[in-house]
Structures are given as structure tokens and as C-alpha cells.
């Protein structure tokens, strides 16, 4: 039984489709009946999408593109339009960053901080801008869903990371909080044919060690750290017609971690 709202006869562009969350979103959107243009900048990720087993034979087009480049975004929207018709929505699950991303706060260099904001936040801005232009030009009632994070709405729980080999990057917090407000800005500015919303997931399972998971899960209600597919339902909802009057909002999906 399909647990998602219907996206039949809709064409959806998914950016970052080859990532951990992006693949689950792609599966969900295909399952809901949409035609999907799956975007990634990574050749290996695209290769995996070419053999996708999400039940969308003939409705999936993998395309290599870069959200930090205007021409690349214009081309992906044009390809989607040519292949499947008017684009009705998009999901941005991209996670662009440089090789120094994720260092502890006092070790972050200004140049790296600036570059990561330019790549990630700048890429989200550019994609929002071009999607809004497309929506207005085609009058397509376009729905864009951006991926933010619980750490866009709350300060990190640094105690969760005390014994971990990784931290909560300062760039991530700055970027994800800005994406939420930029989404509101674009929704207010672009008018009736374009709406944008955010989904802010909590932590996603990715092979973290048991001690980290225990510390994280102690702040949650039922499941604890989520699987990538736990986020997909809220995204399909925001892409669907049953959410047509929801715009500029942020839905937190975190099993209570941020409470």
C-alpha cells in the first residue's frame, strides 16, 4: 500500500539524488507516481541512480548538474521540461562542501568558512532563484522543498559529541539556519506561482557508534536517530496538492530531539 500522497502527472527535480537522504526521497517520489529528474554532481552517484530499483521504470532521468552554476541549473530545468513536460516541483538535498569542512570551531579558517557558505548556502540561493524564475515564466504552481536541519533551529547539543571522532560543524549551523530564512524570503518575494518550504531532519543513521547513538537517543521520544526514509513522507506531502496553501514554512522531523 502506498503511504504517500499522490504525485501522479507531476514532474519533480531532485538535487542531491545520489546521497543517503536523496536516494530515499527519489524512491518516495517515484512511489508516489511522479516523473523524476534525479540530479547529482557525482558520477558514481549518478551511475547508481541509472540502475535504480525504486519502481519508476521510464519515469526516472538521471542528470549530472551543479547547483552553484546558473547555466547548469537552467539546463537541468530545460532537460526536465523537454523530457517530461512542465516541472511542478523540486527538492534540494544537495550537500556541497570543501575538503576542510567539519573541523572543530577553533580550527576553522575564514577562507574555508566562506567557501563552504558560498558552495552550500550560495548553491541553495541560486537554485531557489532559478526555480522561482521558471515557475513565474511557466505559471506552473511550483513547489520547492529545501533540506535544512534541526541545527538550523536550535543550538547544538555539544555533549552528544564529547566522545565522538566528529563534531557539529559551525558552517553547517550557519548554513542550515540561513536556508530556513532564505526559503521564507523567496516564498514572500516570488508570488503566487512559486512556493518554497523546508524540512529539517534530526540526525540520520550513518554507521555511528553505539555510544554516540545512546547519547543522541537519550534526547528523543520513541525511535531515536532516524533512517533517511523517515524524512521522505513530509517531503512528498509538501510537493503534493494537499499542501498547496503551505508556503515559507519549516517542518521539523526529529522524534522530539529539539524539544
> Would you name the residues annotated as active-site residues?
172
DSSP result, 198-259: EEEE--B-SS--HHHHHHHHTT-SSS-SBPTHHHHHHHHHHHSGGGTT--S-EEEESTTTT-
User: Cell triple for residue 193?
Assistant: 506561482
Which residue's C-alpha cell is 559551525? Answer: 170
Distance CA 148, CA 201 (A): 7
**CB 200 within 8 Å of CB 252:** yes
C-alpha cell at 230: 523517515
Measured CA to CA in angstroms, residue 169 lies from 113, 130, 151, 174 at distances of 10, 28, 10, 9
Contact assessment for residue 68 and residue 122, using Cβ atoms and an 8 Å cutoff = yes
Amino acid at each position: 500500500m502506498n503511504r504517500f500522497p499522490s504525485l501522479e502527472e507531476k514532474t519533480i527535480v531532485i538535487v542531491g539524488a545520489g546521497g543517503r537522504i536523496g536516494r530515499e526521497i527519489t524512491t518516495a517520489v517515484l512511489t508516489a507516481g511522479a516523473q523524476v529528474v534525479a540530479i547529482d554532481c557525482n558520477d558514481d552517484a549518478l551511475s547508481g541512480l541509472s540502475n535504480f530499483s525504486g519502481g519508476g521504470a521510464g519515469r526516472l532521468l538521471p542528470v549530472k548538474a551543479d547547483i552553484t552554476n546558473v547555466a547548469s541549473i537552467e539546463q537541468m530545468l530545460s532537460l526536465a521540461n523537454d523530457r517530461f513536460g512542465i516541472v511542478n516541483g523540486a527538492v534540494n538535498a544537495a550537500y556541497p562542501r570543501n575538503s576542510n569542512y567539519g573541523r572543530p570551531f577553533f580550527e576553522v579558517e575564514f577562507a574555508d568558512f566562506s567557501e563552504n557558505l558560498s558552495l552550500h548556502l550560495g548553491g541553495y540561493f541560486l537554485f531557489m532563484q532559478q526555480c522561482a524564475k521558471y515557475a513565474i515564466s511557466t505559471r506552473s504552481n511550483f513547489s520547492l522543498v529545501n533540506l535544512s536541519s534541526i541545527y538550523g533551529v536550535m543550538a547544538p547539543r555539544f555533549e552528544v559529541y564529547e566522545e565522538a571522532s566528529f563534531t557539529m560543524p559551525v558552517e553547517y549551523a550557519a548554513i542550515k539556519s540561513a536556508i530556513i530564512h532564505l526559503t521564507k524570503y523567496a516564498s514572500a518575494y516570488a508570488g503566487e506561482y512559486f512556493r518554497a518550504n523546508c524540512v529539517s531532519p534530526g540526525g540520520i543513521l550513518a554507521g555511528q557508534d553505539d555510544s554516540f547513538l545512546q547519547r543522541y537517543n537519550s534526547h528523543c521520544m520513541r525511535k531515536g536517530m532516524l533512517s533517511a526514509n523517515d524524512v521522505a513522507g513530509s517531503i512528498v506531502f509538501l510537493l503534493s496538492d494537499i499542501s498547496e496553501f503551505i508556503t515559507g514554512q519549516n517542518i521539523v522531523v526529529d522524534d522530539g530531539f529539539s524539544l
